[in-house]
A and B are shown apart, each in its own frame.
Chain A
């Protein structure tokens, strides 16, 4: 229960404003909590007179807590390639490992892995546990989850990180639940508190409208999925030393009740909007499916992926995997070009962390300009073709 110290409360109302759940009211100039409170703790921090507190029972700390050490990352491998986010995980993993003076390891699962493990070492891993088996050709939550769980139980890393991708966000919750430990999704910032080795995991919530820092104090490992393109990749060093361990899972642990029948790639170049450096997005301003061809041409010219607002997806000008926003994907490329998109909050939460945002819209008051680094007020049917032309010209085409 949220405790309110009536003596301390000055009735300022800041907590009332802070509560997302409408659970605090001011009655006779003191804060009163009602039954809507779900103990999220947002208010405790904001009270300047420290009148608010949440009483927690002393929790049992996992008995072998001190035995867990080292950082482990899950290296995602698909279609013959290590996913870029895995190298980013090695970047942050190296940083955390160096701080803890503990090793950094990677778990690599798949079929026909080639030299992938060597790359992971060159990017910072001290050890790679790999399983190269035809049974792992397709990703399945159960087989990948079981194996990762087993490696974690044996190696006891204090921190386990995976990419917040369609794969990572699907099977890491299974692993965390099996290990009876906490998991924080889609982190954008990670740091270890040196006093006690607790991982401070910061992530957006409420569609990016607020940020929250989360701890997992009582159990190990501390697990997080990390948003792609946020962490920096460590430099590649082909001469780095490291150990490759061919891990042997028990055969029954490689089985999955769910069977993948087929793996279908879609317009590969332009659809993977979560990993590209550049995204060109189109909205209702494109008018029709034909208009969207313009977006595709611009994306081609800049070597980017194609994104879309929900209005464009709902009009069936482009498929849902391209949708950016609250009910689509969250992206943060180096460059995001929004064409004919008004900038509704549900769209903006999905792209506002992009490094550079360009907005092209004929309405000078469109909210998209509030988040834009560079804005062009104009007709996209005039601006975009010019842009394409100039880019080609500059390249001498």
Chain B
């Protein structure tokens, strides 16, 4: 059972805010963290490995400092780590990202399962998982909230829908994206931390994965951000006054037209 987990290092979104007046980022030391959904992807992979044997390889495309999240992943149970890093990858949109990750995974070799987070909290696109599955020409299921059975050559799972869930069977190799409900990620073990410290992280450059320069980074991107601005907040902070009865009356008057 070889499982690959895709992990992204992201700025902690709660710290990121644009000042609506100056349109500048009110950034008080934005921390870089492991994308929260990817933690759940990793945990699920490590659990599957513990039950069925095999190996978990974590892979991240990013700048050199993304190594930190890979080491963190190893301290939480991953066996091997690959950093896909090259200046030429900068500016990648999801199209260029899936191309690059796809090439890197092909170089890593045989696998049974790829697990991604539902989405990365910087771009919130949720496009990399499905796009990557297409690049690797494998089936995929998004928004997985539970793996129920691991059969020979297939996996059964529950996929979250807007109004409930689907019970699904997917043949292997395949790709999953997971929601946080799937598990409670563990904290790093002492042994894991030791291992993470010592582990040599493999680094793949654009040349190593034989990437076509026209498909990667900014030049490989199909989309382009042309403007960034602060959202408008509507909060009017109208606090209702009076006794509870009076407040409830006032509120109902205000919201009656919507009800």
* Minimal beta-carbon separation of B243 from chain A (angstroms): 10
Taking the nearest CB of chain A, how far is it from the CB of B119, in angstroms?
8
| B49 adjacent to chain A (CB < 8 Å) | no
Is A59 part of the binding interface, using a Cβ–Cβ cutoff of 8 Å?
yes
Q: Digitize A269-283: 1 where CB-to-B-CB distance is under 8 Å, 0 elsewhere.
A: 001101101100000
Q: B11 contacts A326, CB within 8 Å?
A: no
A residues in contact with B17, CB < 8 Å: 209-210
Docked CA distance A371–B36 (Å): 25
Tier of interface size on chain A = 35 or more
Cα distance A378–B121 in the bound complex, in angstroms = 34
CA distance in complex: A186, B162 (Å): 15
Q: Is the CB of B121 within 8 A of A207?
A: yes
Q: Mark A379-390, 1 if CB is under 8 A from B, else 0.
A: 000110011001
Among B72-80, B140-148, B200-208, the stretch in contact with A? B140-148
Q: Is the CB of B63 within 8 A of A38?
A: yes
For B85, give the chain A residue with the smallest CB separation.
A35
Cα–Cα distance between A259 and B121 once the two chains are bound (Å): 30
The residues of B that contact A213 with a CB separation of less than 8 Å are 225-229
Contact assessment for B239 and A377 in the assembled complex, using a CB-CB cutoff below 8 Å: yes
Complex CA gap A357/B236 in Å reads 10
Given known pairs A166-B161, A275-B162, the reply for A258 and B168 (CB within 8 Å) is yes
User: A177–B223 contact, CB under 8 A?
Assistant: no
Q: Is B211 close to A, CB under 8 A?
A: no
B164 near A265: Cβ-Cβ < 8 Å: yes
Q: Most chain-B CB neighbours within 10 Å: which of A38, A178, A377, A387?
A: A38
CB pair B258–A211 under 8 Å, yes or no, is: no
**Cα separation A382 to B118 with both chains bound (whole Å):** 39
Residue contact A257 to B171, C-beta cutoff 8 Å: yes
User: From residue 64 to 110 of chain B, which have CB atoms closer than 8 A to chain A?
Assistant: 64-65, 87, 90-95, 98
Asked if B197 lies at the interface with its beta carbon under 8 angstroms from chain A, I say: no
Residue A95 is within 8 A (CB to CB) of chain B in the complex? no
Please give, as numbers and ranges, the residues of chain A lying within 8 Å of B64 by CB-CB distance.
Answer: 35
Verify if B126 is at the interface (C-beta below 8 Å from A): yes
Query: Are A40 and B163 in touch, CB under 8 angstroms?
Result: no
- In B155-187, the 8 Å CB interface with A consists of 156, 160-171, 174, 179-181
Is B248 an interface residue, CB under 8 A from the partner?
Answer: yes
Cα–Cα distance between A180 and B223 once the two chains are bound (Å): 11
Answer yes or no: A155 CB below 8 A from chain B CBs. Answer: no
Question: Which partner residue on chain A sits nearest B66 by CB separation?
Answer: A36
In the complex, how many angstroms separate the beta carbon of B56 from the nearest chain A beta carbon? 23
Cβ of A169 and Cβ of B142 under 8 Å apart?
Answer: yes
Residue from B163, B170, B219 in contact with A56 in the complex, judged by beta carbons closer than 8 Å: B219
B217 touches A39 (CB 8 A): yes
Q: B52 within 8 Å of A by Cβ?
A: no
Known: A260-B168, A356-B258. A345 touches B14 (CB 8 A): yes
Using an 8 Å CB-CB cutoff, how does the interface string of B192-234 with A read, 1 for contact, 0 for none? 0000000000000000000000100111011111111111011
Which of these binds chain B: A41-49, A109-117, A289-297? Answer: A41-49
Contact status B218-A36, CB under 8 Å: no
B150 to chain A, nearest CB (A): 15
Known: A219-B222, A264-B165. A358 touches B251 (CB 8 A): yes
Q: If the complex has contacts A345-B14, A372-B235, are A268 and B140 also in contact, measured as CB distance less than 8 A?
A: no
Among B140, B156, B231, point to the contact of A141 (Cβ < 8 A): B140
Q: Does B224 lie within 8 Å of A214, measured CB to CB?
A: yes
Q: Are B218 and A39 within 8 A (Cβ)?
A: yes
Chain B residues contacting A358 (CB-CB under 8 Å) are 251, 255
A11 within 8 A of B: no
| Known pairs A39-B218, A54-B218, A383-B248 / 5 extra A-B pairs, C-beta < 8 Å | A42-B228, A209-B13, A218-B222, A260-B166, A373-B235
Which B residues contact A (CB, under 8 angstroms)? 11, 13-14, 16-18, 22-27, 30, 36-37, 63-65, 87, 90-95, 98, 121-131, 133-135, 139-143, 145, 156, 160-171, 174, 179-181, 214, 217-219, 221-231, 233-240, 244-245, 247-252, 254-256, 258-259
* A residues apposed to B, CB below 8 Å: 1, 14, 17-22, 35-42, 45-46, 54, 56-57, 59-60, 78-79, 138-139, 141-142, 165-167, 169-171, 173-174, 176-178, 180-186, 200, 204-219, 256-266, 268, 271-272, 274-275, 277-278, 302-303, 319-321, 326-327, 334-335, 345-346, 349, 352-353, 355-358, 364, 369-378, 382-383, 386-387, 390-391, 394
**Could you list 19 examples of A-B contacts with CB < 8 Å?**
A20-B11, A20-B30, A41-B224, A46-B228, A166-B142, A185-B126, A205-B122, A206-B122, A207-B124, A215-B226, A216-B224, A217-B224, A265-B163, A326-B121, A345-B14, A357-B234, A374-B238, A375-B239, A391-B252
Q: Which 5 A-B pairs have the closest CB atoms?
A: A39-B91, A182-B222, A320-B181, A182-B223, A173-B130
